[in-house]
Structure 1
Amino acid sequence: MSVQLEQITRLNPGNGRPIVDGASLAVADGSFTALVGPSGAGKTSLLRIIAGLDPHNSGHVLIDGTRMDGVGAAARNIGFVFQHYALFAHMSVAANIGFGLSIRPRGSRPRRDAIARRVEDLLDLMQLSGLGGRYPHELSGGQRQRVALARTLATGPRVLLLDEPFGALDPLVRRQIRSWLRDVHEKLGLTTILVTHDRQEASELADMVVLMHHGRIVQAGTPQALEDTPADPFTMAFTGDVVRLDGRVENSIFTPDLPDVLPVAAPVAAGPAELLVRPIDIRLRPGYGQATATLRQARGPLGLYTIHLGTQTLQVETLIPPDAAPVAHCALDVSAGRLARGAAWATVTSLPPSGESVHA
């Protein structure tokens, strides 16, 4: 099932400020989408609006092209998994999983043997075979989260919404369950939308990452697209490590305030500006400055350097140039960065020093 959001806005009932502010998004049938962003960005609120758990003040929610505005959560055929499991402590694992089927109206309620078969199938799918008779307190955190997912899937939803489902799990279990969740998504042909703060988690799981900030969708695309072509400084900083360099633009040339950082061509108006560059994209240029770069640790072609720029020191992990440990009398080439100048956000290009190219 596809999910389409058209200019969704939800206002805080207390102060009238937008919790979700004009969000539009198209989620393809069978895709895996991750909503990411800092706390308070509106991710969970948007997820609850899709599920029909929270109202919205304007805009439209469409499931498979049909408007769901005003349609209750129970009628949307959507599964929702919360962060803290919400399992019934007094029920066995099997009873928890079959609960949604057992409380259906008599006319649509499956027979007991059919519910039992469905529960066994889900226990097998969730890698919980033989645990149906246990109780939630007898399970690990990862097992309880899989029971919660099985209970959600028991009623056969075609859209699965996950709100920080791994937040209570330790890092090792989180990594293990990511791969398993992606397999379940593909086996069942679900349309899955995940809320997470973890950009690595989003990149590993999702076909499309949707970055939110202050209730708005800042950028949506593949994980690689957000990292390679960020729409603004916030996106670039959120999706990966950055080094920030203040400076000034004059005559379409940005000159950093720090010494021994090579100027770059910048197609923006004159004035103060900030350049953002990924550490991995910084290049050491021996012979073009007075900086000293000391290699602290090597990992294959990458090196962790301490770089002394006048009175400033940077820690940068970047490519190791030939015969460069340490590198004395060098400069930093930051021409792979992007420049923020007021509302402008532009790519920059290198300026060959002394008439020679600085490109490797």
Structure 2
Amino acid sequence: MSVQLDHITRILPQGGRPIVEDISLLVPDGSFTALVGPSGAGKTSLLRIIAGLDPHQDGHVMIDGACVDMQDAHARNIGFVFQHYALFAHMTVAANIGFGLSIRPRRTRPDKADIAARVTDLLDLMQLPHMGARYPHELSGGQRQRVALARALATGPRVLLLDEPFGALDPLVRQQIRGWLRDLHERLGLTTILVTHDRQEAAELADTVVLMRNGHVVQSGPARQLEDNPADPFVMTFTGDVVRITGHVAHGVFMPALPDIQPVATPATDGPAEILIRPADIRLRPGSGSARAHLRHRRGLVGIYETTIAHTTFAVETVTTPEPARVIPDCALDIAAGRLARGDAWLERTA
């Protein structure tokens, strides 16, 4: 099932402030989309509007081409996994999973045997066999998260909404659950929308990343596209590490305020400015200046050097030899000029 949002706006009753404003978005059938952004961006609000849990004042929500604005959450049959699982502590795992089926109207409610069979199938799918008789407090965080997923899937939804589902998990379990969730999404043919503030999580899981800020969609597309071709400085800063270098533009050339950083051509007009660029797009030139670079750590053959110029320190990433120098003295820095021309870097005006 596809999900389409057409100019969705939600305004808080108190103060009349829009928390989601004029958002249009298409989530294709069978795709995995991640809503990312800082706190207060409107991610969870948008997810709850899709689910029918919160109202919206303008626009339309369409599922598989049909408008569902007038349908309540139950009628939409969307699976929703909350941030803190929201499992019923007094119910067994099996009862939690089967809850959505057991409260259906009598004419559509499966009998107890069918519900039990569905619960058993889901426990196997979630790799939790023989745990139906346990209670939530007897499970690990990762197991509770899978029970919450099983409960969301029990009614057979084709759309699955996930609100920060990994937030309470430790990093190792979180990493394991990511791969398992992506595999589950593909095996069941789900349309999945995930809310997360973790850009790495979004990049690993989602086909499309939707970056939100202040109730608006700033940019959407594959994670690599947002990282390599950010629409504005906010997107660039959110999607990866950034080095900021102050200076000014004169006659089509950016002149850094710090010594030992080479000027770089730019189409910008004259005036004070600040360049935003990735650490990997700065080159160290040993023996060409007075900067000093210290190797802090490595990722494979990529070394991350903490570089100091005139009491200002920032990171530089560079390919190293198997035995890299721990300290590179007397160096200058080059900025990859092509980045400015392609839009991979940004030049912001300063006062």
Both structures adopt the same fold (TM-score exceeding 0.5): yes
Aligned mates of 1:214, 1:299 — CA distance in 2 = 34
Aligned mates of 1:135, 1:299 — CA distance in 2 = 42
Partner in structure 2 of residue 327 of structure 1: 328
User: 1:194-232, CA deviations, whole angstroms, 9 ceiling, x for partnerless residues?
Assistant: 001111111111111100000100010101111111111
* Residue 66 (1) aligns with residue 69 (2): no
Partner in structure 2 of residue 261 of structure 1: 261
Q: Aligned Cα RMSD in Å?
A: 1.8
Aligned mates of 1:90, 1:306 — CA distance in 2 = 53
* Residue 276 (1) aligns with residue 276 (2): yes
**1:292–1:330 CA contact under 8 A, matched in 2:** yes
How much does 1:298 deviate? 4.3
User: 1:71-103, CA deviations, whole angstroms, 9 ceiling, x for partnerless residues?
Assistant: 211111211110111111121111111111111
* Residue 186 (1) aligns with residue 172 (2): no
Aligned mates of 1:197, 1:298 — CA distance in 2 = 26
Q: 1:160 to 1:252 in 2, by over 3 A?
A: same
* Residue 339 (1) aligns with residue 346 (2): yes
Aligned mates of 2:12, 2:139 — CA distance in 1 = 38
Partner in structure 1 of residue 198 of structure 2: 198
Deviates more, 1:323-332 or 1:191-200: 323-332
Q: How does 1:240-251 map to 2 (within 5 A)?
A: 240-251=240-251
How much does 1:324 deviate? 7.3
Q: What SS does the corresponding residue of 1:115 show, helix, strand or coil?
A: helix
TM-score by length of 1: 0.91
Q: 1:323 to 1:257 in 2, by over 3 A?
A: farther
Partner in structure 1 of residue 290 of structure 2: 290
Aligned mates of 2:299, 2:202 — CA distance in 1 = 25
Partner in structure 1 of residue 48 of structure 2: 48
Q: How does 1:1-360 map to 2 (within 5 A)?
A: 1-320=1-320, 325=325, 326-335=327-336, 336=339, 338-342=345-349
TM-score by length of 2: 0.93
Gaps of at least 5 residues in structure 2 are: none
Q: What SS does the corresponding residue of 1:181 show, helix, strand or coil?
A: helix
How much does 1:292 deviate? 2.8
How much does 1:260 deviate? 0.9
User: 1:246-296, CA deviations, whole angstroms, 9 ceiling, x for partnerless residues?
Assistant: 111111111111111111111112111111111122111235433233334
Q: 1:139 to 1:322 in 2, by over 3 A?
A: closer
Aligned mates of 2:313, 2:112 — CA distance in 1 = 69
**1:296–1:305 CA contact under 8 A, matched in 2:** yes
**2:243–2:315 CA contact under 8 A, matched in 1:** no
Q: What SS does the corresponding residue of 2:204 show, helix, strand or coil?
A: helix
Aligned mates of 1:123, 1:302 — CA distance in 2 = 43
Q: 1:289 to 1:172 in 2, by over 3 A?
A: same
**1:33–1:207 CA contact under 8 A, matched in 2:** yes
Gaps of at least 5 residues in structure 1 are: 344-360
Aligned mates of 1:204, 1:149 — CA distance in 2 = 19
User: Percent identical across equivalent pairs?
Assistant: 69
Which amino acid in structure 2 is aligned with residue 35 of structure 1?
Answer: L
Q: What SS does the corresponding residue of 2:202 show, helix, strand or coil?
A: helix
